[in-house]
Chains A and B, each alone.
Chain A
Amino acid sequence: MAVEQDTIANPSSHDAVRREGGAGSRSATGISTLSAAALIGPATIIVVILLVAPLIILFRYSLNRFVPGKFMVDALTVENYIKIFADPYYRGVLFRTGVIAALCTALCLVFGYPAAYLLARTRSRFKTWLVLLVVMPLFVGNAVRAAGWMVVFGRQGAFNSILSALGIVDAPLDIMYTPLAVIIGITGFNLPFMVLTLQSVIEGIDPALEEAALGMGARPLRAFVRVTLPLSMPGVVAGSLLCFILAMNAYANPVLLGGPRFQMMAPVVYAQISEQSNWPLGGALAFVLMLATLALTVGAHALVQRRHRRRGIA
């Protein structure tokens, strides 16, 4: 309604012009389309140059050949892509990256949903502070936070010190340079994104719907599963996709917390391009990572949407 009122009140808007009809209005529409194109054009060109051009260059490099001692030799071959899919090592790294990303996303959802629900429904005067508490970790860079985890997880770190002070362990536990450390690091980094996304969606769900379900005799868990959760699915999907994409491309946590023997895709891409100067293989790995992330993201989204529609929830 607000949009309609604004359109009527503002005769210069497109809809109002269209309603007026006539040759004059058509030329006015044409002019305003031209003006819009002139305004959007430069920004679009800059985005294309900054975003698409590097991708095209990288893709072209990925079709080149790496010759030791000569770096990149011009070619038009898909051998780098074949190597990635034929070599169990690279397949293993890609699979591990997908599994870790999925696991971290699931953990973010499990830990993030209750926190988001609490934030959305609380009427506390400290709500702003609680939201700030969730946002605050984002003020600190990923690498700095991973460095903080290193201090906690070290053999003489805070975690082991507490465990040994409580007499729970005799010898320090090896947490650094394990997959567990990476999962904790990535989950900790992605959690605020999940909480904030879910919170904004849950806030838009009318509490009266839950109250109605409870009033009609549904138990709290049933009311949540049948009413709140389905209505919050857009937030669950958006938050999960965001966390999954971030986890698939994680760099600092696998490098700093996973150690040299734990490989994920982003560090492998970096190592090929920056340490081995093998730009063709690095470029191909980057494209495979990008396409795998895109395929899994689009696939998961389509699956959830289809189930959603089948249940008759818009």
Chain B
Amino acid sequence: MATRSPQTRSRAAVSRRRFLQATAMTGAAAAFGPGPARAASGKVVVGTWGGDYQNLIQKNIAPLLQPQGVDVIYDTGNDSPRKTKMMAEKMLPRGAMDISALNRAGSYEMYRAGTLLEIDASKIPNAKHVLPKFATTWSVPHIFSGRIILYNPKFVTDKPTSYADLWNPKYAGHVGIIDIQYQTTIQSAAMISGGSFTNYEPGKAKLMELKKLDFKMMPTNEAMAQALKTEEIWMCIMWKARGVMWQNAGVPVEIAAPKEGVVTYISDFTIPKNAPNKEGAYAFLNAMLDPKPQEGFIEDMGYNPTVDDVELASAMAKRVGFTAEEQAQLLVEDSEYLAQNDAQLKEWWDKEFKS
């Protein structure tokens, strides 16, 4: 408000010549000038996860767009149905979404399927702050977290140091596996059995060993939180952000980083090729990378910023964050391998591991 008042006063005192000059300059800027605010207006439909994610977008990002006349509308749901929707709408000239939020493997899959626009970084001034490790040509990374081990120190007295600790017979029957995390679970098993980001196959045999030892399978992350709280499960693989949030909610868990390396979860925001309001979408992506909303996601959701101009001084930022050294060693999975192998990994998971 303090910055608006002088502008209001000057507007009141504007002369006819100044008005014409300003109008001409605005017209020229609209015709030739870069910048997301050029034609950004109207409604931007953001396909995103519901719950906290949507609430935090509304709280942190939407207010930055209001002065530009951009209203954020939500199309909430999980990323799998969102991908299906994008595929179904692929041939339509106008899709239902201007922005589609997906995990990194999902965004690459959609890019490969030809549904995504190549991002024009010149329309996103804040894009220059994106950490190079996470940058792509088809998406704008929003937030990230790292995969760690959660354990209940009451039962797991020796702090885990490796994914291999989940295979310790002492904890048989109390190790939790999440159904929807099949990719990351097979990948984690591969990391301790001679596999790599381009070869998950050794992980399958390793998981069959875990099956013999006995484990508990939960359908979702939320069900896992409940099982950790009731102490039915003592140890599981999870994202650090979720671990911190669960600690805040009173779930009795500690966090341990595996020596195999911390693999990142990246939340990507993309623009479908048939987005009706592309300029609005670019304005959204620019606002999303602004330091203020990035800080908001650290404080309220425990995820780390994907840009280099955010102050990481708060207590929360220190709990969820990674040191510069750790950041340099963060691992990013191979999206091409996942795009080629996701179907067979899921088939094996359903038929062999779960059955």
Contact = CB atoms under 8 A, between A and B. Distances in A.
Contacts of A274: 80-81, 84
Contacts of A259: 217-219
A89 B353 CA distance: 12
A155 B216 CA distance: 14
Given A71-B87, A156-B230, A277-B83, A66 B343 contact: yes
Contacts of B343: 66, 68, 276, 278
Interface in B309-355: 339-344, 346, 350-351, 354-355
A275 interface: yes
A69 interface: yes
A274 B84 CA distance: 6
A261 B80 contact: no
B350 A263 contact: yes
A273 interface: yes
A231 to B, nearest CB: 46
A261 B344 contact: no
A260 interface: yes
B339 A69 contact: yes
Say what secondary structure dominates the interface of chain A.
Answer: loop
Residue in A66, A259, A263, A278 whose Cβ sees the most chain B Cβ within 10 Å: A259
Nearest to B83: A277
B341 A68 contact: yes
Contacts of A156: 230
A193 to B, nearest CB: 27
Contacts of B209: none
A311 interface: no
Contacts of B81: 274
B87 A89 contact: no
A310 interface: no
Contacts of B346: 275-276
Interface string A253-280: 0010001110100000001011111110
A259 B217 CA distance: 8
B75 interface: no
Contacts, number: 53
Contacts of B219: 177, 255, 259-260
B255 to A, nearest CB: 25
Say what secondary structure dominates the interface of chain B.
Answer: helix
B155 to A, nearest CB: 16
A261 B177 CA distance: 12
Given A259-B217, A260-B217, A277-B83, A89 B355 contact: yes
Interface in A40-92: 66, 68-71, 89
Given A70-B113, A263-B350, A273 B339 contact: no
Nearest to A256: B219
B112 interface: yes
B232 interface: yes
Interface string B181-192: 000000000000
Contact of B84 (A66, A155, A177, A277): A277
A68 B230 contact: no
B179 interface: yes
A277 B112 CA distance: 13
Given A274-B80, A274-B81, A277-B87, A155 B230 contact: yes
Given A155-B230, A260-B218, A68 B339 contact: yes
Given A156-B230, A263-B350, A68 B340 contact: yes
A82 B87 CA distance: 25
Given A155-B230, A259-B217, A260-B179, A68 B83 contact: no
A261 B84 contact: no
Contacts of A279: 87
Interface in A137-181: 154-156, 177
Contact of A260 (B84, B341, B354): B354
Nearest to A88: B351
Residue in B226, B232, B350, B354 whose Cβ sees the most chain A Cβ within 10 Å: B350
Given A89-B350, A263-B350, 16 more contacts: A66-B343, A68-B339, A68-B341, A69-B112, A69-B339, A89-B351, A156-B230, A255-B219, A259-B219, A261-B217, A261-B355, A271-B350, A274-B81, A275-B346, A277-B87, A277-B109
Interface of B: 80-81, 83-84, 87, 109, 112-113, 179, 217-219, 226, 230, 232, 339-344, 346, 350-351, 354-355
21 contacts: A68-B340, A68-B344, A69-B339, A70-B112, A71-B113, A89-B355, A154-B226, A156-B230, A260-B179, A260-B217, A260-B218, A260-B354, A261-B355, A263-B350, A274-B80, A274-B81, A275-B80, A276-B343, A276-B346, A277-B84, A279-B87
